[in-house]
Amino acid sequence: MSAIFKALPGLEVPVGGISDGFNQLWSNTDAQDLRAMQLNLVVHFGLNSTPGDAEVQFRHTVEFAQRYPCRVVVLCPERDPAAPRAFQAKIYGECFLGQSGKDTRCCEFVMLSYPVGTHDFLQNQVSICLSTDLPLYYWAHRFSSNNRLAAYDYLLTKSRRVLFDSAVVPPDAFTFPWPNPAAVRDLAYTRTRVLRQTIGQFLSRYAPADIVAGLRGVSLQHRADLASEAAALLLWLKKGLARCGAHVEDLNFAPATCETDGCFRISYDYGETGKKFEWSADLERNHAEFAGDLGHGRTTLVAGARLLAPGEALGEAMFF
């Protein structure tokens, strides 16, 4: 039995008795009429996941399900080759009260413990556990290598969205030959949505030609533990500058770490022209300051700054 499987909540049931288990779980409750699911989500814990990490991600998934009722299938690999090569299952259900007494939503979780190397049988079992006629989403969390991920082609090809978090997967995840690249979303990028919105809104007051004229490079300072979010933000800045007409291959992009709690800073280098654009955020206080002068006078602004919470990021990555 997988250690991750043991750590997660739920009622253990026979693998072939999952449907009967849910019928019994919801019997004698009002939830029978409230189980209108919107989607299927497969959460796949890779071999680099730990029981503690899995519990945290499980709660994040429950937070997501409060907004989007869903059937969640959680895959828990058994890495011990000496363990019995058998599948085990748990079920878990939870309902949430909304703003009114009639606004009640429920979600269902199926936890599957499986021996590593049983890909074909696992994919068959997953397909049985999913709610029919609902879109499928796949979240590969902490997978240990691209080669292992490639074995789950059913989930990679059939899912409307494929999610991963570049902060906790191998660096070569970006070079993996995804079957449907348009469906892939990086949660580290998604978490920066609020930052991208406010930066984009501030820069939108300037003409594209004013932004790129005289620009030599972009520096971005960040906390060490936010390296993936910083890399995602820097890539977004490059794409934005290219759309403004900049030759980004000639610009210097310089990411660097800083020690101050919550720090995130962006500065455009315009040399001796007197032009400037600076953005500085304290993510601990949800506070950011802008200063810009691109040849038409100095402009400053104070704005909010935060990373999306995990449940919010899941929804953003799936639907936008």
Q: Are 110 and 76 in contact (CB under 8 A)?
A: no
Whole-angstrom distance, CA of residue 83 vs CA of residue 114:
10
DSSP state for residue 193 in the 8-state scheme = H
- Weakest mean pLDDT among 80-84, 162-166, 308-312: 80-84
Please, what's the largest Cα pairwise distance for the chain? Answer: 75
Strands (E), the chain: 11-13, 39-45, 70-78, 88-97, 104-115, 136-141, 161-164, 184-186, 217-222, 252-257, 263-269, 276-282, 287-293, 299-303
Nearest in space to 73 (alpha carbons), one of 105, 107, 109, 37: 109
CA distances from 108 to 15, 23, 29, 100, 259 (A): 15, 11, 14, 22, 42
Task: Indicate whether 217 pLDDT > 90.
Answer: yes
Whole-angstrom distance, CA of residue 315 vs CA of residue 320:
8
**Residue range 62-120, pLDDT digits in tens:** 999 989 999 999 999 998 777 777 899 999 999 887 666 667 788 999 999 999 888 88
Q: Are 156 and 126 in contact (CB under 8 A)?
A: no
DSSP state for residue 173 in the 8-state scheme = G
Burial of residue 213 (number of CB atoms within 10 Å: 0-12, 13-18, 19+):
middle
Mean pLDDT of the chain: 93
- pLDDT, residue 136, reads 98
Give the percent of the chain with pLDDT over 90.
81
The dihedrals phi and psi of 281, each to the nearest 5 degrees, come to: -125, 140
Nearest in space to 37 (alpha carbons), one of 135, 146, 164, 117: 135
